[in-house]
Chain A
Amino acid sequence: MATDTSSVLLPDALEVIVQELRGRGWRVVAPVRRNDAVVHDEITSVTELPIGWHDVQTPGSYRLEHRGDGAFFGYAVGPDSWKRELFPPRAALLSARRDGRASTDGPGDTAGTGTDDGAGFVVTPAVPDRRRSAFLGVRSCEVAAMEIQDRVLLHGHHVDEDYRARRAQAFVIAVNCTAPASTCFCASTGTGPAVRAGADLVLTEILDDDHRFLAEVGTTEGAELLDLVPRRPAEPADVAAAARAVQAARHRMGVTLDTEGLHDLLLGNLEHPRLDDVADRCLCCTNCTLACPTCFCTTIEDATDLSGDVAERTRVWDSCFTLRYSEMHGGRTRTSARARYRQWLTHKLATWVDQFGSLGCVGCGRCITWCPVGIDLRAEVAAIRADQEAGAGREGASR
């Protein structure tokens, strides 16, 4: 993405970006260190970033360590994803009031009518959050996750209004990843470590003799913001240093999930014994789906106030690992852990393609790190593939 518009910022310039955004009324949300994990929260200064920290992630394990330098973005992704900002765990859908005349307490559209016989109700759609948010430090896998959620929530026949409002207001300052964890596999899914599109600004942190950031412009809004920030034009040496850092990250990750023929491999092995094996380990705790930046399944909660005259509907994250997820009047369609893990794995890596035209996985590795028993979907897929290839080999040999 390095172009003529590339420039170099010193660490202090990031503080200028944060203050410019805040001065214009934006919330700036960024990685911060809380309870020994890197999570997302609103910041008032870049000094709140987890400066000098590094995360060590393995299946079922996450630990922060000092890096011994002043890196701003020297860690991979934590348990939070930007989904929490754009598609929050709980979002109001509407309120309804019995017997009301057209409601005047909100700017939302109103359906229904007041009635004289005491049997009607008035529905008022929830007003989406109108605060403008800037996300600082968004990794390539996370930009890709936003694009996947866009396909589901914006680009189908119907639109999630709350998501649309939040997404339209989001300003994305991405960071090319130079610090992948062992659980990361964006190089396998083609979603990183470099940001290709979908960000207003893209930074690459360079940590050689002088600490600096290569800044590349993604949108006009990004260019306008950059104009307000002290910077110098990028030299070829800056661009090369940034490219080296990203390339090193790519090499460190390698390819740990073979996506070749993945769709047919999984859908052709719906009864594979490896699924029984993983079902013995899986706790159906839902951590993987909650940490996942693309999982979008929701349920709806209905509640009334104590009078029973005011009802509210709320959209709430759900998970295909719960029993209730597949509950129908005639029973539950997925009672076994095997069926629930299979649903999740095949959705992420196969049927998502049929449903929405892309993989449902961006290789961020959250489902691996935050699985309490350390199930690694790459290993599950590899086991099925190895078996398939061994079987094909046997068939070939017997001919």
Chain B
Amino acid sequence: MTTLSEDVERRGAMIPRPHRVRARRQVSHDTWTLELDPVDGRPVAIGPGQFTMLYAFGIGEVPISNGGGGPGEENRLVQTVRVVGAVTRALCATEPGGVVGVRGPFGNTWPVARARGGDVVFVAGGLGLPPLRPAIHQVLRDRDGYGRVLLLYGARTPADLLFLDEIETWRQAHGVDVGLVVDAGGPGWSGEVGLVTRLIPGIELDAGTATAFVAGPEIMMRFVAEDLHTRGLDLDSVHVTLERTMRCGVALCGRCQVGPTLVCRDGAVYRYSDVGPLLSVKEL
């Protein structure tokens, strides 16, 4: 049996493969998680940090990060999609049994294994949690291989916080130090209010061995990286994931350029030391 990546090479990476929606869960007021099975029976071997191009029949295609990697999620794609336009609306409206197209996997992976032996801090802003989820699960499967594991997670409102049940499991069963924060609280929220950077001064970690994985809006990632650096992390040890519009996912369409780099080909995961200077140039 050929592997999927060989198949992608042979047939051209521009051809979507039909996938059937096996399950669909609404995970916030505007966000759904889709579980996808390949119609041809050959699963996509996707790594933490990689992405696919999801195709809604006749409407269009969007890059969506791998949001799977949890227990029992082997051999299927798990992708969390927020409704922001016509394509994502159609994807999120696909009922179980319906079919969407998948291209990929594309892009590089979070260097999770290289963080082994030290502390790990995951920092997520908003919809940044799903792209970190496969990396978190990779660490938790090998929990003894790492020191402290921290998750700092900020969202706009309590209603925008995703996967709270699962986060509770990570805290209780795996000893993950979890910090949650929202920009705007409200009735029933007794936790922290502010930006996710607010949590950084209070964390305990061994900066010399620690690796950070950060996903969220660019401005958030810049401030998080700077604050982690203030806490003693080397910027080589801070990894971020960039987001740009993509039409192809395979370095042919030019759309995802950020200065010298193509996000689909050279990323989407970067060391902050490599892309930090680019992110500080306005409108690059």
Binding site for B on A (CB under 8 A): 93-94, 96, 98, 109, 111-113, 115, 117, 119-123, 125, 152-153, 156-161, 267, 270-271, 296-300, 302-304, 308, 311, 318, 320, 325-330, 333-336, 338-339, 342-343, 346-347, 350-351, 354-355
> Which residue of B18, B84, B97 is within 8 Å of A121 (Cβ)?
B18
Interface members, chain B 88-110 (any A CB < 8 Å): 88, 97-99, 101
Q: Give the most central of A109, A311, A325: most B CB within 10 Å.
A: A311
A96-B58, A302-B58, A334-B283 known; A161-B14 Cβ under 8 A: yes
Q: List 20 A-B contacts (CB under 8 A).
A: A98-B57, A109-B15, A111-B11, A111-B15, A111-B16, A112-B17, A115-B39, A115-B99, A122-B18, A125-B11, A152-B252, A153-B252, A156-B250, A318-B253, A333-B244, A333-B284, A338-B283, A351-B257, A354-B259, A355-B260
> Which residue of A119, A158, A328 is within 8 Å of B20 (Cβ)?
A119
Q: Report A253 CB to chain B, min CB distance, Å.
A: 29
Q: Are B252 and A157 in contact (CB under 8 A)?
A: no
Chain A residues with CB under 8 Å of B173's CB are none
Which residue of B is nearest A98, CB measured?
B57
Q: Are A123 and B85 in contact (CB under 8 A)?
A: no
Which residue of B is nearest A309, CB measured?
B58
Closest 10 pairs (CB-CB, A-B): A354-B260, A339-B283, A297-B254, A158-B250, A311-B58, A304-B58, A329-B84, A112-B18, A351-B260, A302-B60
Chain A residues with CB under 8 Å of B260's CB are 267, 350-351, 354-355
Which residue of A is nearest B88, CB measured?
A329
A112-B40, A303-B58, A329-B84 known; A158-B15 Cβ under 8 A: no
Complex Cα gap A304–B254 (Å): 25
> Which residue of B18, B250, B255 is within 8 Å of A111 (Cβ)?
B18
Q: Report B221 CB to chain A, min CB distance, Å.
A: 13
Contact bitstring B236-260, A, C-beta under 8 A = 1, else 0? 0000000111011011111101011
Complex Cα gap A248–B253 (Å): 39
Contact bitstring B172-215, A, C-beta under 8 A = 1, else 0? 00000000000000000000000000000000000000000000
> Which residue of B84, B245, B251, B252 is within 8 Å of A326 (Cβ)?
B245
Q: Are A159 and B12 in contact (CB under 8 A)?
A: yes
Q: Report B95 CB to chain A, min CB distance, Å.
A: 8
> Which residue of A157, A325, A346 is within 8 Å of B251 (Cβ)?
A157
Complex Cα gap A146–B39 (Å): 39
> Which residue of B17, B101, B262 is within 8 Å of A355 (Cβ)?
B262
- Secondary structure of the A side of the interface? mixed
User: In this assembly, does B265 line the interface, its C-beta being within 8 Å of a C-beta of chain A?
Assistant: yes
Q: Are A119 and B17 in contact (CB under 8 A)?
A: no
A336-B283, A354-B261 known; A158-B13 Cβ under 8 A: yes
User: In this assembly, does B59 line the interface, its C-beta being within 8 Å of a C-beta of chain A?
Assistant: yes
User: In this assembly, does B147 line the interface, its C-beta being within 8 Å of a C-beta of chain A?
Assistant: no
> Which residue of B14, B247, B254 is within 8 Å of A94 (Cβ)?
B14
User: In this assembly, does B61 line the interface, its C-beta being within 8 Å of a C-beta of chain A?
Assistant: yes
Complex Cα gap A394–B39 (Å): 68
Which residue of B is nearest A308, CB measured?
B58
Q: Report B271 CB to chain A, min CB distance, Å.
A: 16
Q: Report A125 CB to chain B, min CB distance, Å.
A: 5
Chain B residues with CB under 8 Å of A153's CB are 252
Q: Are A296 and B245 in contact (CB under 8 A)?
A: no
Which residue of B is nearest A310, CB measured?
B58
Which residue of A is nearest B264, CB measured?
A158
What 7 additional pairs, Cβ within 8 angstroms, besides A119-B20, A119-B98? A96-B58, A299-B255, A320-B254, A328-B243, A329-B88, A343-B284, A347-B257
> Which residue of A115, A159, A328, A336 is within 8 Å of B245 (Cβ)?
A328
Chain A residues with CB under 8 Å of B9's CB are 158
Q: Report A74 CB to chain B, min CB distance, Å.
A: 35
